């Protein structure tokens, strides 16, 4: 049988056990409900530092790529400019060459010369225009610094020929017939002065007086066709 003293000890033990269980339960509940706290403040700082370093590295790489791309674009643009300049120079040289050989139409101030056979019913050797007359006239015009010349719309070049076969006059193998209209692009005053010079084209001017040969000049805006020799017969009309 338990004595009073033993019963008291048992009761105390049970009470201590109950109190211990209660305290343990309280600690457990508190541990579960208390928000977690950073135990090591260095850890998030290191994470942020690493993230910043990664971002900085990515930005630097992007900037370097942009710089490299810009450099490539600049080099390409420079190359294109060089090619364009070279192409422009070649085009300009080609245009100048075409102009020299008469492959471009010329427009500007100039003089129109009409040389035609006399209106006499019975012509003679002095009353008609010969190839030699046209050659003399063209030579005088070139000497007056004419920029472009055409005879009955046939453009002349520095290699052009004016010949005759029997009664047919040929300009670069193209047949032309009376009247002969010569269009000259150049300095009007200089050309007109040379044509009016008494010592120039003296044979033609002599026949104008004696045989009625037609020789007229007029200052006008002229269009001289580009070179295009053919075997067609071209007729000119007087005004």
Q: Quote the distance between the C-alpha of residue 90 and its chain's center.
A: 11
Contact 224, 148 (CB under 8 A): yes
| Pairing verdict, β 106-116 and 180-185 | antiparallel
**3-state percent helix, strand, coil for the chain, nearest multiple of 5:** 50, 20, 30
Looking at residue 88, what is its pLDDT?
79
What is the span of the domain harbouring residue 168? Answer: 106-224
Q: How far is CA 235 from CA 55, 154, 181, in A?
A: 85, 11, 9
Q: What is the pTM of this model?
A: 0.61
Contact 184, 134 (CB under 8 A): no
Looking at residue 175, what is its pLDDT?
92
The answer to whether position 217 is within a domain reads: yes
Alpha-carbon distance of 239 to 196, in angstroms, equals 21
Looking at residue 18, what is its pLDDT?
61
Looking at residue 21, what is its pLDDT?
61
Contact 149, 182 (CB under 8 A): yes
The answer to whether position 181 is within a domain reads: yes
The answer to whether position 168 is within a domain reads: yes
Long-range contacts of 125-130 (CB under 8 A, 24+ apart): 126/207, 126/210, 126/211, 126/213, 127/207, 127/211, 127/212, 127/213, 128/178, 128/213, 129/169, 129/178, 129/180, 129/213, 130/164, 130/169
Alpha-carbon distance of 135 to 112, in angstroms, equals 16
Contact 127, 211 (CB under 8 A): yes
* Domain CATH code at residue 205: 3.30.70.1880
The answer to whether position 143 is within a domain reads: yes
**Domain count within the chain:** 1
Q: Quote the distance between the C-alpha of residue 212 and its chain's center.
A: 54
pLDDT per 10-residue tile (average), the chain, 239 residues: 57 60 53 49 62 72 74 77 78 78 89 95 93 96 95 91 90 92 96 94 96 96 83 50
Q: What are phi and psi of 163, to 5 degrees?
A: -130, 175
Closest-CA residue to 220 (of 191, 177, 197, 198): 191
Residues 236, 126, 200, 237: what is their CA dihedral angle, to the nearest 10 degrees? -10
The answer to whether position 205 is within a domain reads: yes
User: Where are the strands (E) in 69-209, listed by range?
Assistant: 106-116, 148-151, 154-155, 162-165, 168-171, 174-176, 180-185
The answer to whether position 63 is within a domain reads: no
The answer to whether position 192 is within a domain reads: yes
The answer to whether position 19 is within a domain reads: no
């Amino acid at each position: 049988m338990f004595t009073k003293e033993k019963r008291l000890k048992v009761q105390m033990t049970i009470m201590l056990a109950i109190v211990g269980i209660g305290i343990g339960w309280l600690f457990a509940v508190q541990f579960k409900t208390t928000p977690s706290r950073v135990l090591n403040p260095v850890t998030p700082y290191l994470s942020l530092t690493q993230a910043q370093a990664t971002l900085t590295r990515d930005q630097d790489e992007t900037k370097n790529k942009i710089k490299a791309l810009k450099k490539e674009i600049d080099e390409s643009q420079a190359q294109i400019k060089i090619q364009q300049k070279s192409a422009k120079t070649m085009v300009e040289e080609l245009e100048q060459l075409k102009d020299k050989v008469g492959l471009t139409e010329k427009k500007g101030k100039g003089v129109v010369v009409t040389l035609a056979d006399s209106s006499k019913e019975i012509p003679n050797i002095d009353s008609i225009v010969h190839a030699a007359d046209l050659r003399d006239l063209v030579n005088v015009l070139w000497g007056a610094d004419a920029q472009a010349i055409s005879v009955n719309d046939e453009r002349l070049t520095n290699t052009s020929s004016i010949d005759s076969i029997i009664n047919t006059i040929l300009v670069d193998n193209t047949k032309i017939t009376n009247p002969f209209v010569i269009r000259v692009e150049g300095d009007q005053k200089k050309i007109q002065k040379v044509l009016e010079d008494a010592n120039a084209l003296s044979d033609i001017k002599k026949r104008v007086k004696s045989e009625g040969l037609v020789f007229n000049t007029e200052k006008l805006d002229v269009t001289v066709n580009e070179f295009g020799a053919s075997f067609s017969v071209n007729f000119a009309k007087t005004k």
